[in-house]
Amino acid sequence: MFHGSITALITPFKNGEIDWNAFENLVEWQIEKGTHALVPCGTTGESPTLSHDEHMAIVKRTADVVKGRIPVIAGSGSNSTREAIKLTSYAKNAGANAALIVTPYYNKPTQAGLYEHFRAIHDEVDIPIIIYNIPGRCVVDMSIETMARLAKLPNIVGVKDATGDLTRPLYTRNIIGEDFCQLSGDDATTAAFLAQGGVGSISVVSNIAPEECANMHNAWVEGDRETFEELRDKLALLARDLFCESNPAPAKYAASLLGICSDEVRRPLLRASDDARTKVEAALDFAGIAYG
């Protein structure tokens, strides 16, 4: 259903507000360069610091600009089940094709609580749901067994796996089956994730290198190992160094170098430090991405 290079969109800011012109240009550029789907309002979009009105406006603007050309997978999770239902319902009505819903953070629910959270959203909103499992940010880790229970519900279609455990996609595929859409949530492990049964990646790097990321996934599907390995290696430093400080500060610095948007982030995040900037510039050079 969903596959390939899926960009977790940054949210451009200008003087504290959303830079809508830059955002729309970014969406169009992503489509032009072959990105397979877009995720507005994920972690990379600084969703924790967006107001509800901003969050909903970004989802709608994304769907309006895309106009059905590629799928829109709206970030609509929350640690409040009621809030997640509200955001997911809005995303569906705004034209999103699916919802990316993070495991509840801070609350530390049990596996039974995780199941009930996702089941409640599933039952209230008729839209494909991708589970976002990221223990490093949410503390809780959804087990494969809980995911298998959820996968029996018709609209629970896949997972964004940011556990960093490269045995997970293989075990998940064996337990749940091939039709369950497994997407990597870590750029650095994308290649290995594909080899273990994944079908794509929700990527930060593709904000900066959309064509290269899309072509890498296309090469994998086409069995073009030489091109796949060449692009994998070119993107390796970006996959590492766009995370040298809190995401998306390094990515936004790279975006500013490419003229996409400013490097402005919202507190408590800060702009990339001088050391981080040096690393990002070196990673861009290594990938052969020109900037001025």
160 is catalytic: yes
What one-letter code names the amino acid at 17?
A: E
**Dihedrals φ, ψ of 57, to 5°?**
-65, -40
Catalytic residue among 90, 115, 132, 253: 132
Query: 169 Cβ partners below 8 Å, 6+ apart?
Result: 161, 182, 184, 193, 196, 197, 198
In this prediction, residue 223 carries a pLDDT of 98
CB 6 within 8 A of CB 203: yes
Residue 132 annotated in active site:
yes
What is the spatial distance between Cα 279 and Cα 211, in angstroms, rounded to a whole number?
A: 21
Which residue numbers in the chain have pLDDT < 70? none
- pLDDT value of position 251: 98
Structure tokens at 249: 């500060």
CA–CA gap between residue 89 and residue 91 (Å, rounded) = 5
pLDDT tens sequence across 125-135? 999 999 999 99
Which of 160, 252, 253, 279 is an active site residue? 160
Instruction: Report the run of H or E that residue 122 belongs to, with start and end.
Output: helix 111-124
Domains and CATH numbers, the chain: 4-233 (3.20.20.70)
**Closest by Cα among 145, 192, 149 to 167:** 192
pTM of the model: 0.97
